[in-house]
Structures are given as C-alpha cells and as structure tokens.
Amino acid sequence: MVQERILPTFQADSSTITRQEGLQLYKDMVLGRLFEDKCAEMYYRGKMFGFVHLYNGQEAVSTGVIKAMRPGEDFVCSTYRDHVHALSSGVPAREVMAELFGKSTGCSKGRGGSMHLFSAEHNLLGGFAFVAEGIPIATGAAFQTKYRREVLGDQTADQVTACFIGDGATNNGQFFECLNMAVLWKLPILFVVENNKWAIGMAHQRATSQPEIYRKASVFGMPGFEVDGMDVLAVRTVAQQAVARARAGEGPTLIEALTYRFRGHSLADPDELRSKSEKEEWLTRDPIKKLAAYLSEQDLVGQDELKDIQQQTQSLINEAVQFAQESPEPDPQELRRFIFAEDE
C-alpha cells in the first residue's frame, strides 16, 4: 500500500494568469462556496429536504476544469455532488436553488432535486445519484461528438466532455469499461476523479489495491495525471492540456485531483469517522484562500475588491433563495410531463 498522498506529482509551474482570468476563477469558486454554505443553512432551518451533498473544499476542481472548456458548448457530466458543477457550467444560481427547493422554476423543473440537476441549455448532462452512473452517459456524449464529426461530416462537432467522478467510483466496473472504450475510439473526454479521500465512510486507502488512481490510465494506454486539487491554477493547467488533446482528436485523459471535502459526506452525516487532525490539515489548504493570496501577491486584485466580490456574491445567493421561496410548486396535473421528449 502506498503512503497517503497530499502533494501530487503534477503541480502548476509559475503559471501566469491575467487579471480577468484570475477574477473569473475567484468569482466562480466564491460562488460555489457561498452557495453551498447557504444550502447548509436552509437545510438545517428545515427549508430544504432530502439528501444534500455539499462541495465545500473542492471548488478548485470544478472551476479549474470547467472554466478551461467552452461554456455552453462542451459537455459536463456530474455526480450527486453536483451543485457547484452546475454553477461553473453557467446554470443560474436562482435555477439551482429553486431546484433544491423542489420548485417548478428549478433547472430540472422541480423533479430532480439536489442530486439530479440538469440543463440542456448549458450542456449539463445531469447529476447522478448512483456511484459511477454518469460515466457511461458522459462516454456516450463524447461518442456522439466523434460520430457527428467523422461519420456525419459535421466539422463543427469538436465538443469535449468532462466526466466528474469520485474516488469510490473508480472501483466500479463502468469506470474500467468506459476508459477502455474511450481509448479504443479516441473519444474527446476528460475523466476527472475528485479524490477527496473518502467514499462516504470508506477511506480510499482501504478500498482499492492501487490507491494512485491516475496510474490506472496506463493499463489502457491513456495519459494519466495526478494534480493538486486544492490549487485552481494547477487544475486549470492540466485541464487545458487535456482539453486541447481531446479537441485535436488525440483521445481521452484521466485526471486525478487530490482534494478534500470540508463537510461530511452529506448534511445528514455527523462526520465522526475522519480525524480532527486530518480535517485541520486540509483546511489550511483552502483553495479560495490560496488563489486570493496569489492574486494579491501578483498585484492583480486588491483586498477591497476581493471583499466586494464576496459581498456581491452573497447578495446574488440571497436573491436566489428569495426567488426559490417565491416560486410555485410543480403543477400536479403535469406529473407525467417530461417523461418523454416533447415536440418542438
């Protein structure tokens, strides 16, 4: 068994970004963090129900990968921890919040809830409640892009698909089957493993014979990278390289992002299995604070501007809650609607 890893093999070099790029990354991560904090508040106040899995701590992965893609053109396939993936994909915060409240104005019309966010407009293929369930969906999306381009002759078909999965999903058969097919067909897809060290209550080190997930790519002849999932610039760098490969027809990439969730598995999880020292160690590597420090050190953004972004984002989320609370419940007469595709 290999030793527990914190520092990855791939880290961003002295990656330089513009002020505009830095602000985009920072705003997106702050949006994700504050949105999830508000979800926790609403859940514990009895305003939100069902299973709710928050993303706090993992923001650099969502932002680093999705912001390296083409918004609204490329495809994103998520897991049951999908709120922030949806926000990074451009789904409005009010539509995500309304969905969590089960309202008709939600991005899934109030029919999906926390684990089943979907948006055709933003090419968000969905959140999936079952472990590894989204991997074949994402593989299919990548296949249709290749098919449209090479068989149907559509030269505009160069979309890339990002398939987000947790470390627990990499022990599932669908993971291996889809990686095999993706390499055989040179599909334009990124398999992004968010290794937050715990699959519900199972420590990753105890669950697999090869804890270094990125090494599993070599079995299929696929490039595999391990990256610091708490460093948005590192994630962004490796994602840009993988997206470029995929768009150029060079096939898939496996990215293992070493990250950590700051809250329990779900809001119903008392989070008693993880040690206090482990949690404290990872909290010191907060990806938002790390980016803020970098932007400040590079004289790209001032502290007052960072505070303004926090306040503006909080106002946006408060408005999203108000919108969700005031939105109508789904009409019972439309219970069976959306089961099948509708005519345009």
What is the secondary structure of 15-44 as a DSSP string?
----HHHHHHHHHHHHHHHHHHHHHHHHHH
Spatial distance between the Cα atoms of 214 and 258, rounded to a whole number of angstroms: 10
pLDDT at 272: 92
pLDDT at 166: 97
What is the pLDDT tens value at each position of the chain, 344 positions in all? 344 565 555 555 556 799 999 999 999 999 999 999 999 999 999 989 899 999 999 999 999 999 999 989 999 999 999 999 999 999 999 999 999 999 999 999 999 999 999 999 999 999 999 999 999 999 999 999 999 999 999 999 999 999 999 999 999 999 999 999 999 999 999 999 999 999 998 999 999 999 999 999 999 999 999 999 999 999 999 999 999 999 999 999 999 999 999 999 999 999 999 999 999 999 999 999 999 999 999 999 999 999 999 999 999 999 999 999 999 999 999 988 888 888 76
Residue 8 domain-assigned (yes or no): no
pLDDT at 113: 95
Residue 122 domain-assigned (yes or no): yes
Contact 149/158 with Cβ under 8 angstroms? yes
Residues with Cβ within 8 Å of 110's Cβ and at least 6 positions away in sequence, in order, are: 98, 99, 101, 102, 103, 104, 329, 330
pLDDT at 219: 94
Backbone angles phi, psi at 156, to 5 degrees: -85, -10
Residue 2 domain-assigned (yes or no): no
Tokens of 215: 């090494």
Residue 332 domain-assigned (yes or no): no
Tokens of 249: 């027809």
Residue 4 domain-assigned (yes or no): no
Residue 266 domain-assigned (yes or no): yes
- Please give the distance of CA 93 from its chain centroid, rounded to a whole number: 15
Per the structure, the count of domains in the chain is 1
Query: For 8-34, what is each residue's pLDDT tens digit?
Result: 555 555 567 999 999 999 999 999 999
Residues with Cβ within 8 Å of 327's Cβ and at least 6 positions away in sequence, in order, are: 98, 101, 103, 104, 105, 106
Residues with Cβ within 8 Å of 323's Cβ and at least 6 positions away in sequence, in order, are: 94, 97, 98, 105
E-assigned strand segments in 37-183: 75-77, 161-166
CATH number (domain holding residue 285)? 3.40.50.970
Residue 343 domain-assigned (yes or no): no
Alpha helix (H) residue ranges in 101-157: 134-150
Query: For 115-169, what is each residue's pLDDT tens digit?
Result: 999 999 999 999 999 999 999 999 999 999 999 999 999 999 999 999 999 999 9
Which domain, by its residues, includes 277? 19-327
pTM (2 d.p.): 0.94
Strand partners of residue 77: 163
Residue 180 domain-assigned (yes or no): yes
Residues with Cβ within 8 Å of 181's Cβ and at least 6 positions away in sequence, in order, are: 139, 187
Tokens of 322: 């108000």
